[in-house]
Amino acid sequence: MHMTYPLIEGAYVRDLLEQADALRQTLTLPLPDSLSGIATLLAGPQPPFLVLTGMGSSFHALHPLAIRLAEQGIRATMIETSELIYYSNGLLGPNTILVVVSQSGQSAEILRLLHLNAGRSPIIGVTNNPGSPLGKAANAMVLIRAGSEASVSCKTYVCTLLALSRIGDVLCSGNSGASSSHHLETVADSVEQYLSNWRDHVEQAQDCLQNARHLILAGRGVSLASAGTGGLIVKEAARFPAEGMSAAAFRHGPLEMVNHRLLLLVFEGAERSAALNRKLVNDIMEIGGSAQLVSPNSRLDVFRIPLAPEAFMPILEILPVQIITLALAARDGFEAGAFTLASKITATE
């Protein structure tokens, strides 16, 4: 039986609808010249080690950059800042470069990292707040221009993905970030196009979620950013049990959870593993489970995203998840993204 639940529109919806403009604004910002100097070091005979760090969606957004660095043979690792400051701080030193992502530039873990580092490792900082402690401490500050954001990360997240892609352009090929600029306007237009039908998407998502009591989001490669951030924002914006994981990991145990109350959302992702992800969706449906594929070829409009280069797939993949948060909150009768316990800036470790 089809049922539509009324949506309570608030600041979070406004922020979602401003994402395309935020991407365009971020693209106008120049990259710091100091990035080229770091690229030169990475191409030298004794290149430094890169540590990519952040918390929450800022951490998950690092996946595409980590993959790109690995493909270029550049030594790098991703570590949550909370783990870096207590369990991996031996990595700090002149032979390590930190890529630190924090939308506020002043969350609790970032402040402790800056104090602990005390200038030992050079910092590439990505932030929405140039006057923050991170903005001031960074040797190369890459600014995003997402504007103010009421609660759940959306504008800041997609702009961070863009900024990290531009950083990758410089670190991996030494150019000015032009390849990102070439594609970005089209991606921003695609974001705008998808969101122009957001009300219809919410209604369709409500239909898919009628019986859902748990949500698992799964992907591979760059889509791990979408799975991780998706699981986070569904819990945060819709207060709904959700988990992000790799599509391969789902077969290693969580497969036993398959039933009519679990919805598995799979990101088709890059071509090199797309067939595996499509097969996972088909296998779940064959055993009577509920699964949907986020893809340019999805059978449902809400999960059908425009084509994009691999580097920008996560920008588009997160949009259906944002729609899901609106649908779930409407189903349960509250305003999506309206915090009651959390705060925009996490001030306590």
Using DSSP, state whether 286 is helix, strand or coil. Answer: helix
Q: Which amino acid, one-letter code, is at 29? A: L
Model pLDDT for residues 132-145, shown as the tens digit of each residue:
999 999 999 999 99
Give the pLDDT score at 174: 59
Poorest-confidence range of 84-93, 171-180, 257-266?
A: 171-180
3-state secondary structure of 196: coil
Question: Parallel, antiparallel, or unpaired for β 96-101 and 140-143?
Answer: unpaired
**SS3 annotation, 27-72:** HCCCCCCHHHHHHHHHCCCCCCEEEEEECCHHHHCCHHHHHHHHHC
For residue range 201-254, what is the model confidence (pLDDT) as tens digits?
A: 999 999 999 999 999 999 999 999 999 999 999 999 999 999 999 999 999 999
3-state secondary structure of 267: strand
Top mean pLDDT of 63-67, 169-173, 183-187 is at 63-67
pLDDT at 291 over 60: yes
Average pLDDT over residues 91-119: 97
> Is the pLDDT score of 1 beyond 60?
no
Across 35-39, 44-48, 111-115, 171-175, least confident range: 171-175
CB atoms within 10 A of CB 3: 9
Place of tokens 């799964």: 218
CA distance to 146, 173, 242, 295, 345, per residue, from 216 (Å)? 28, 36, 6, 16, 26
Average confidence (pLDDT) over 16-31: 96
Which tens digit of pLDDT belongs to each residue from 39-70?
A: 999 999 999 999 999 999 999 999 999 999 99
Question: Does residue 263 register a pLDDT over 50?
Answer: yes
List, in order, residues 6 or more apart from 102 with CB less than 8 Å away: 54, 55, 58, 110, 125, 126, 127, 132, 134
Quick one: which of 212, 208, 242, 249 has its CA closest to 228?
Answer: 242
Domains of the chain: 17-184 (3.40.50.10490), 191-332 (3.40.50.10490)
